Amino acid sequence: MIGATAVIRFARQDNASKSWAAELLKPGPARVVSVALANKTARIAWAILARKQSFTAPATAPAV
């Protein structure tokens, strides 16, 4: 939760206004978004540990 809250804090800065976390903040409250980010992080960590694999970040779409 602390790491997800830090992502939210960074997303609120002016230089990060086009980040994916900033987009998540538009429709909902910050606490709900931070819980969702923490859940996503926990699911990734569980999958890595369960499959005994290393993490490879998904390819990002080109900026529009």
Taking the C-alpha atoms of residue 40 and residue 64, their distance in angstroms, rounded to an integer, is 25
Q: 59: helix, coil or strand? A: coil
Taking the C-alpha atoms of residue 61 and residue 63, their distance in angstroms, rounded to an integer, is 6
pTM for this one? 0.61
List Cβ neighbours of 11 (8 Å cut-off, separation of 6 or more): 19, 21, 22, 24, 25
At 7-52, the pLDDT tens digits run 777 777 766 556 677 777 777 788 888 888 888 889 988 988 898 8
Extents of the domains making up the chain: 2-51
Provide the pLDDT for residue 56: 73
